[in-house]
Structure 1
Amino acid sequence: MSGLKREITLIGGIGQMSTTLLGTGLFMVPAIAASIAGQDMLWAWWLLIFAVCPIAFTFAALGKRYPNAGGASYFVKQAFGSRLEKAIALLFISVIPVGVPAAIAIAGGFAQQFLPSFLAQPLTAQLLVVVLLMVVNFSGSKISSQFQTGIAIGILVLVGLFVWFGDISVSDSIPATLPANNLPAIGSAVAVMFWCFVGIEAFAHMGEEFKRPERDYPIAILVGCLIAGTVYYLFSLVVLKHHAFGTQELNTTSVPYLSNLLFGSGLTWLISLTGFLACFATINLYTQSLARMIWSLAREYKPSSSVARISIKGVPSVATVFVGITLALSCVFGELSNIDIEVFLTLANGIFVVIYLFAMLSAVKLLSGKGKALAIFSTILCVLVLFSIGLAMTYAVILLAVIWVLIPRFNNTKSI
């Protein structure tokens, strides 16, 4: 058994982090948040970025100190022992059939716009996305990070064009005086916008594959978050100035609407392609992260199994195939069951926040000084978000409790 290859560079890591955070959020969240808070959405972005910074710094500190393919579950193991590590790992793996297929459905929707007619069916497009995921993942982490860096550059160029042709000025970027009577709406907008920064926990699984994890991994997280936050803020300015929000239809089609308004209908294909690539970048990192989580567990507890093997290109092949098959089956189930995609996303969001919470609790125990203070603040933030998402919180907490009860107490594990 060999280890994962250390092929991810600083630039590649920044590209992966930023595209993972942008993902599907860029095409919906700014317009939805504008519908909730109007012009005061700008204050919501400032508050959110201020709140996310401690979480990003905490993940960076943990990843610098404990670079491991186990990600958040490995941090939990260092703080609380092996049993809770397994529980968090299995909780993260449980997002395969609910969270990632929902994102694949969105990516497939974009892909249908430029696929030939005989392939432009929802399920066919989604399965083609899964096949492309397998191709990219089996190419190795270096090729994958380079691919996502290219996507990041494309998104930056697109948003830059929106800002330029949207005639955005410095005065447009400065929020008005904070209105006390609109604070509840601003808070509601922050709750929606928080999901733009879900993805940091998935990136934690890539720390072991950086060439220089002690230096480059924390920089990649912080710079990636800064780039994503800047892109979201700039695009929100365009949405506000040209009123690309207000109805459910307009909120979900704000990007095509602005494209037709500012560039004409000739670039519709480019918007669809960019939307597909942005969604694909997020799904790609989660596919990598989930495979590495499964491989990490096998490496630690079943090192002689086929799941613990690594390909010549440094890819956990069996784990990747398992993730791919599960994604394909979940896409088929989603289409046949006609379950609303928002149900899957809501359930996945609850799982992600619980994982964030336990990562921050681990940091409280493992870090010291300013790192511990930031971790405490981040823990409080995660608790507030967890209670704000309602039913999804109940699903995630019950699922974690069931996993905890079902995990057998092996002699070589440390009970907490």
Structure 2
Amino acid sequence: MSAVQQNITMSQQLKKEITLLSGIGQLSTTLMGTGLFMIPAISAGIAGEMTSWAWLFLFIAVCPVALTFAALGKHYPNAGGTAHFVRIAFNKPQLGNAVTWLFLSVIPVGVPAAILLAGGFLQQLLPAPLNTSIYAQILTLCLLVVINLSGAKASGQLQTLIALSIFALVIALLWCSDITTADLVMPPLNITSVKPIAMALGVMFWCFVGIEAFAHMGEEFKNPGRDFPLSILAGCLIAGMAYWACSVVVIKWGAYGSPELENTAIPWLSQKLFGGQMTSVINLVGFFACFASINLYLQSLSRMLWSHARHYHPHHMLTRLSSRGIPANATLLIAGIILISILLEAFTHLDLSSFIKLANGVFIMIYLLAMISAWKLLTGIYKGLAGISLLLCSLVFLCLGWAVCYALIIFIAIAIPKRKQAPTSKPPLA
């Protein structure tokens, strides 16, 4: 390798700054993020008290999936994430490209809903001239860009603090709700409960969306072989406990059943349990919880674009890193796309439940492709886990129903190789 090629290679390496603690903080806040403030109420509105069974089934399904992603990240750490796993498993660049575009397709359906929710909390904290939804969303996006350009280390430290504040809020809700053993009793299962539980699972999968995004950060861990798998396992455990606790409180107080409570259940409960003096604190925690979730997605999307460009066009402007080792151009491009999405969605009425289902269709498709890749790449016990995960993801895929059409259309359109047209013969020059 020449000296010039070696310098190019070194300049295209991300900085290894993520530790075990910051990794746990990033994943747990991402998993809780927007979901903690709306999914418990939405799922309870669908399945009622049967939601407790849906949470149990979801936790059982997530465990092997999380372990499989941990094994993939440990053995194949790369900023390309699932696109990289698919590419090396099938040795077909077209499939890797399809996963990349599939991930990017979340921007018009998932990111606007998340930023809308974050902006709703921030709007309550802004002064009168700026306390509108569109200003709050644009300000949220600007803060996301600043944090992302500051580096993975600063982002991880911020998200660890956010995780601690979210966990403190959940503990306070449990403490003030006087939860007893009677509130923890599981209702009896029957044949009529299968449909509402399945419908609730289609929405609740959003809670553990983020593991596939976290896979893009494996290349930036100081010790990916040890800390990346532990971060996934600990992050999923913390997030699962928080979701279950919030669901218990929501069901106990009946904070579900209306469109208004879909994204205001936690503030409504906080007002009821803590009084008005805690409103600003709850809005601040809610904003940063949503902010943390979107933050990791902006990080993962930018790194995926950077990895894609590095693989196919090493000298492209998207492969350039800032002095902090951040793919700045890719970050700004993704932020620009999100801004366009925000402006377009500002003129429509967002139905959070429908948008979540569409986004979940994309994510479960990515999970399925990751599990198939794991089945081909891994060996031993991890191969068995990949098989179980593939079966479980397939069941969740079926639970989503019509929402998977969006993901299927995008994936098939990119994955099917295009036929090359035969060159047309040109008439001889006179």
Larger CA deviation: 184-193 vs 271-280: 184-193
Task: Answer yes or no: is 1:197 the counterpart of 2:213.
Answer: no
Is 1:184 the counterpart of 2:195? The answer is: yes
Q: Distance in 2 between matches of 1:37 and 1:402?
A: 35
CA distance in 2, matches of 1:276, 1:265: 17
More deviation, 261-270/147-156 = 261-270
1:301 to 295, 302, 312: 312
One of 32, 42, 54 as aligned partner of 2:52: 42
- What is the alpha-carbon root mean square deviation over aligned residues? 1.8
Question: Please, which of 105, 125, 133 is the counterpart of residue 144 of structure 2?
Answer: 133
**CA deviation after TM superposition for structure 1 residue 181, in Å:** 4.8
What are the residue-to-residue correspondences of 1:11-410 with 2, within 5 Å?
11-81=21-91, 82-179=93-190, 181-338=192-349, 340-405=351-416
Q: Residues 161 and 6 of structure 1: is their aligned pair in 2 closer, same or farther, counting only changes over 3 Å? A: same
State whether residues 112 and 342 of structure 2, in contact with CA within 8 Å, keep that contact through their aligned partners in structure 1: yes
CA contact (8 A) 1:30 1:235 kept: yes
Q: Distance in 1 between matches of 2:419 and 2:219?
A: 28
CA drift at 1:204: 0.5
Distance 2:220 2:226 in 1: 13
- The answer (yes or no) to whether the contact 2:201–2:396 under 8 Å persists in 1 is no
CA deviation profile, 1:263-287 (whole Å, cap 9, x unmatched): 1111111111111111111100000
How much has 1:407 moved relative to structure 2?
6.6
Contact 2:71–2:229 at 8 Å: present in 1 too? yes
Count matched residues.
Answer: 409
CA displacement, residues 38-83 of structure 1 (integer Å, 9 cap, x when unaligned)? 3332222111101111110110110101010000111101211222
Relative to structure 1, the CA distance from residue 407 to residue 273 in structure 2 (aligned partners, 3 Å threshold; closer, same or farther) is farther
User: How far apart in 1 are the matches of 2:161 and 2:172?
Assistant: 17
Offset from partner CA, 1:320-344 (integer Å, 9 cap, x none): 1101111111111111344545554
For residue 381 of structure 1, report the CA deviation from its aligned partner.
1.8
Q: Distance in 2 between matches of 1:405 and 1:47?
A: 35
Inter-partner Cα distance in structure 2 for 1:208 and 1:408: 35
Distance 2:102 2:193 in 1: 37
Q: CA deviation at 1:314?
A: 1.1
Q: Give the deviation of 1:262 after TM superposition.
A: 1.0
Q: Distance in 1 between matches of 2:310 and 2:409?
A: 28
- What amino acid sits opposite 1:382 in the alignment? C
In 2, Cα distance between equivalents of 1:199 and 1:286? 8
Give the Cα separation in 2 of the matches to 1:281 and 1:204: 16
Q: CA deviation at 1:346?
A: 3.3
Paired position in structure 1 for 2:427: none
CA distance in 1, matches of 2:197, 2:45: 11
Give the 3 Å change call, closer, same or farther, for CA 283–406 of structure 1 in structure 2: farther
| Contact 1:93–1:293 under 8 Å retained in 2 | no
Letter of the 1:42 counterpart: S
TM-score (norm 1): 0.94
Distance 2:358 2:187 in 1: 36
Q: Distance in 1 between matches of 2:263 and 2:141?
A: 24
Deviation at 1:135, TM superposition (A): 0.4
Distance in 2 separating the partners of 1:367 and 1:80: 13
CA distance in 1 between partners of 2:188 and 2:141 (Å) = 47
Change in Cα spacing, 1:178 to 1:344, as seen in structure 2 (3 Å) is closer
Deviation of 1:30 after TM superposition, in Å, equals 1.3
Return the offset for 1:108.
0.9
| CA radius of gyration, larger in | 2
Q: Residue 129 of structure 2 aligns to a residue in which SS?
A: coil
Q: 1:264 to 1:19 in 2, by over 3 A?
A: same
Check conservation: 2:94, 2:417, Cα contact below 8 A. no
CA contact (8 A) 1:353 1:386 kept: yes
Please give the alpha-carbon distance, in whole angstroms, between the structure 2 residues aligned to 1:257 and 1:98: 26
2:198–2:399 Cα contact (<8 Å) kept? no
Task: Give unmatched runs, 5+ long, in structure 1.
Answer: 410-416
Report the counterpart of residue 3 of structure 1 in structure 2.
13
Work out the percentage of aligned pairs sharing the same amino acid: 52
Which residue number in structure 1 is paired with residue 6 of structure 2?
Answer: none
Corresponding residue SS for 1:69: coil
Cα deviation, residue 177, structure 1? 4.7
1:229, CA displacement in angstroms? Answer: 0.4
